[in-house]
Amino acid sequence: MIELPPELESPPVPWTRRHLLDLESLSAEEITTALDVAQRFKEATRDCKVKLSALAGVTSVNLFFEDSTRTRTSFSLAARRLGADSVEFSASSSSVSKGETLLDTAKTIESMKIDAMVIRHRSPGAPQMLAKNLDCCVINAGDGPHEHPTQGLLDILTIRQHRGTVAGLTVALVGDIAHSRTARSNIWGLKKLGAHVIVCGPSTLVSKQWEKLGVEVSHDLDDIVARCDVLNLLRIQFERQYTRPFPSVREYALLYAMNRERMRRAKENILIMAPGPINRGVEVTPEVADGSQSVILHQVNNGLAVRMAALYLVTKASR
């Protein structure tokens, strides 16, 4: 374990929030602060490999009511990389299965003197409800189709690392926009930092109503691919759909999968991103997912840095 760099010994001035619930309510300055702190942690921990003592004595609980691989694991590792204790909660083996409410469960866990609660829940607004009723810090790890702020931050951090800036770039979010919390967080964050955002997919998944958020709406990937600097390929979330939004997966892949042919028409330095899990052959073909322009695994690594920053900022702001 190494010592915390002097510039990280106190929280940056622009950050005063005890909770991280969304990117919609954050200012451009706050988003930039979170990105800067994440970058510093990435460097200080030698690409997220070594431990710091930044949060020694802090206890964080992962309260996940939906399945997760990347987010849950990276929050757990992020806490440990900063010297904190991380506790895992399993809904299936808890008193929730006996009828206990979310708030009663959260208050029970908080009474064990924890400092931060990371929650993923199927219901939009669940983290906000806990933040209003708990004394500990709350971080939203995804609330239904509403927002996923740390995913939005890690996506933006990845773009900034490879392009130097976000301002002026054209970023397309392609796929299941209707059910995507990642899309919403990306839209808020990217727009505030000066990017031009396009949402693209079948009309059943990409309504013209998205234009009210100041983004461009397209239903034709071939029409926009040549002017995009970044493509973020979002998974089709069948688990949140009640009816099939297109005739077949094969037809979707034909119209919207990023493949070798579309790469030939794209900019030479285009970034290919995906929040994961990726469905090879549906949103993206294997040769593109594993190609030189793909930064998908960079996103995973940046998830550790962003979640270290999130835990650090909210817990330091509460002291």
- Give me the mean pLDDT over the 129-142 stretch: 98
User: pLDDT value at position 93?
Assistant: 59
The binding site for carbamoyl phosphate consists of 70-71, 120, 148, 151, 276-277
Instruction: Name the binding residues for L-aspartate.
Output: 98, 181, 235
Q: What is the mean pLDDT of the chain?
A: 92
In angstroms, the CA 298 to CA 300 distance is: 5
Task: Compute the average pLDDT of residues 117-141.
Answer: 97
The more confident residue out of 2 and 238 is 2
For residue 150, the model assigns a pLDDT of: 98
Contacts of 269 (CB under 8 A, 6+ apart): 229, 293
Tens of pLDDT, residues 57-100: 999 999 999 888 899 999 999 999 999 999 998 776 566 666 78
Binding residues: 70-71, 98, 120, 148, 151, 181, 235, 276-277
Residues 6+ apart with CB under 8 A from 248: none
Query: Is the pLDDT score of 238 beyond 60?
Result: no
CB 78 within 8 A of CB 58: no
- Can you tell me which residue has the tokens 């929650």? 119
Find the mean pLDDT for residues 152-161: 98
Question: What single string gives the DSSP state of each residue in 6-46?
Answer: GGGSS--TT---S-B--STTS-HHHHHHHHHHHHHHHHHTT
Q: Is 282 helix (H, G, I), strand (E, B) or coil?
A: coil
Is the pTM higher than 0.85? yes
pLDDT digits 0-9 by tens, 189-221: 999 999 999 999 999 999 999 999 999 999 999
302 conformational bin, left if phi > 0, alpha if psi -120 to 50, beta if neither = alpha
* Integer Cα distance of 177 and 18 in angstroms: 29
